[in-house]
Amino acid sequence: MYHLYILRCADGSLYTGITTDLARRVEEHNSSVLGAKYTRARRPVELVYSKKFRSRSTASKAEYRMKQLTREEKLALTCSPRM
């Protein structure tokens, strides 16, 4: 399984990514050099949205579509009960 996720950074910005292990990846973003360069400078981060996908291909396509959304559209998703 692959997970598409959105993190809220300490500065209020949003970060979107995909992973196979959601808990590990959030921990990496918060405390490891393995976290994305973007989130390392904006710790701590909080998971605000996730969705499961069966394949990397579908997760990557969904990630691309998610990154095309406006900030307001992404924030609307984080308020929905899908998480």
CATH number at residue 38: 3.40.1440.10
Q: Is the residue at 22 inside a domain?
A: yes
Ramachandran category for residue 12: left, alpha or beta (phi over 0 → left; psi -120 to 50 → alpha): left
State mean pLDDT over 16-20: 98
- pLDDT of 83 above 50: no
Q: Is the residue at 83 inside a domain?
A: no
Count the domains in the chain: 1
pLDDT tens digit sequence for 38-51: 999 999 999 999 99
Give pTM, 2 decimals.
Answer: 0.91
Range of the domain at 27: 2-78
